[in-house]
Chains A and B, each alone.
Chain A
Amino acid sequence: MPVYHAELLVYLRPDLLDPQGRAVKHALNTLGFHEVEDVRMGKAIRIRLQAENDSQARDRLKEMAEKLLTNPVIEDYRILSLEQEP
């Protein structure tokens, strides 16, 4: 079965407070990066998986995200990249 490399990006939902992002934004402003208006911190997750094809890999990743990798109550995610191993 083909092997895929996937990258998922997980962020707190945009309307929720992100304390880490807030602290980092404040620090950047203090260091003179006044142009910084907003910082949101998230997680990137790399997964190597077997799948029949692209769309099956995508479906399984979606299931993983919903079942374990994110808490949909507070987090959104997207699949940043999905590539078949050469």
Chain B
Amino acid sequence: MKAAVVVFPGTTCDFDAYDALKEGVGVDTEYVFYQTRDLSKYSLVVLPGGFTYGDYLRSGAIASRTPILDAVRDYVEKEWGFVVGICNGFQILTESRILPGALTRNHTNAFICKPVGLRIANAETPFTEEFEPGERLSLPIAHADGRYVADPATLQRLHKNRQIFLVYDPENPNGSVDNIAGITNEKQNVFGLMPHPERFWHPWLGSDVGIRFFRSLVRRVRHG
């Protein structure tokens, strides 16, 4: 299988995602520039973190209007593989309406970078299968616009379909509704999360717990 790490102007976490996939998980990984229109040969497409187009206007807003997002939409619809949006990648996915809701300014009104406590809220998604239900873990966050919001109907749907796979626990660092840190779509082939699993890919970096997410996906790709 092949994984793609999408590079937009202003993407900054592309190297980290690449290293986590290639060195941490051992997947054949390539960088894909944002002008690419065809993603069909990849089993996994990662939209990494960063400040695409400076995050001017709104975080992820300008990147979500680039042509590669049509390719991503097509990829998701045809179920060619999995899409993971991390941090700015998650913001791009909500700005492009591929995932519901929106990511707004942290309630602290500041950029915040630190490891935070998390809990696996659904261990039955392809992205979380390596975890125990309710397992606690820690991952770094690094964002100013991470407060997840959605209208009540959307929230209800997210809960009902068990689309919330990751929540902040015990501390909610950004004021996200229902402590939401990561959600998936109904088909469970798109995942968006604010914490950075790719930054915890080696014990020297604090932990290697992050690669368990990617390993879950790889196992699903390889063994169905």
A–B contact (CB under 8 angstroms): yes
Whether a CB of chain B sits under 8 angstroms from the CB of A23 is yes
Taking each of A23, A24, A31, which has the highest tally of chain B beta carbons within 10 Å of its own beta carbon? A23
List of 8 A-B pairs having minimum Cβ-Cβ separation, nearest first: A20-B56, A23-B56, A27-B62, A23-B53, A23-B54, A24-B57, A19-B54, A24-B56
Contact status A31-B56, CB under 8 Å: no
Whether a CB of chain A sits under 8 angstroms from the CB of B41 is no
Beta-carbon nearest neighbor of B63 in chain A: A27
Q: Which residues of B sit under 8 angstroms from A41, Cβ to Cβ?
A: 56-57
Provide the bound-state CA to CA distance between A33 and B205, in Å: 45
**Shortest CB–CB separation between residue A30 and chain B, in angstroms?**
8
Taken residue by residue from 45 to 76, chain B's Cβ proximity to chain A (1 for < 8 Å, 0 otherwise) reads as: 00000000110110000100100000000000
Q: A23-B53, A23-B56, A27-B57 are in contact. List 6 more A-B contacts (CB 8 A).
A: A19-B54, A20-B54, A20-B56, A23-B54, A27-B62, A27-B65
Provide the bound-state CA to CA distance between A41 and B53, in Å: 15
Beta-carbon nearest neighbor of B62 in chain A: A27
Provide the bound-state CA to CA distance between A31 and B64, in Å: 12
Beta-carbon nearest neighbor of A22 in chain B: B56
Q: Which residues of B sit under 8 angstroms from A24, Cβ to Cβ?
A: 56-57, 62
Interface residues in chain A, defined as those with a beta carbon under 8 Å from any beta carbon in chain B: 19-20, 23-24, 27, 31, 41
Contact status B57-A31, CB under 8 Å: no
Contact status A31-B65, CB under 8 Å: yes
**Shortest CB–CB separation between residue B34 and chain A, in angstroms?**
12
**Shortest CB–CB separation between residue A33 and chain B, in angstroms?**
12
Provide the bound-state CA to CA distance between A19 and B56, in Å: 8
Beta-carbon nearest neighbor of B67 in chain A: A30
Q: Which residues of A sit under 8 angstroms from B53, Cβ to Cβ?
A: 23, 27
Provide the bound-state CA to CA distance between A24 and B53, in Å: 9
Q: What are 5 A-to-B residue pairs whose CB atoms are below 8 Å?
A: A20-B54, A27-B53, A27-B65, A41-B56, A41-B57
Taken residue by residue from 101 to 115, chain B's Cβ proximity to chain A (1 for < 8 Å, 0 otherwise) reads as: 000000000000000
**Shortest CB–CB separation between residue B57 and chain A, in angstroms?**
5
Taking each of B56, B57, B62, B65, which has the highest tally of chain A beta carbons within 10 Å of its own beta carbon? B56
**Shortest CB–CB separation between residue A27 and chain B, in angstroms?**
5
Provide the bound-state CA to CA distance between A20 and B54, in Å: 8
Q: Which residues of A sit under 8 angstroms from B57, Cβ to Cβ?
A: 20, 23-24, 27, 41
**Shortest CB–CB separation between residue B46 and chain A, in angstroms?**
23
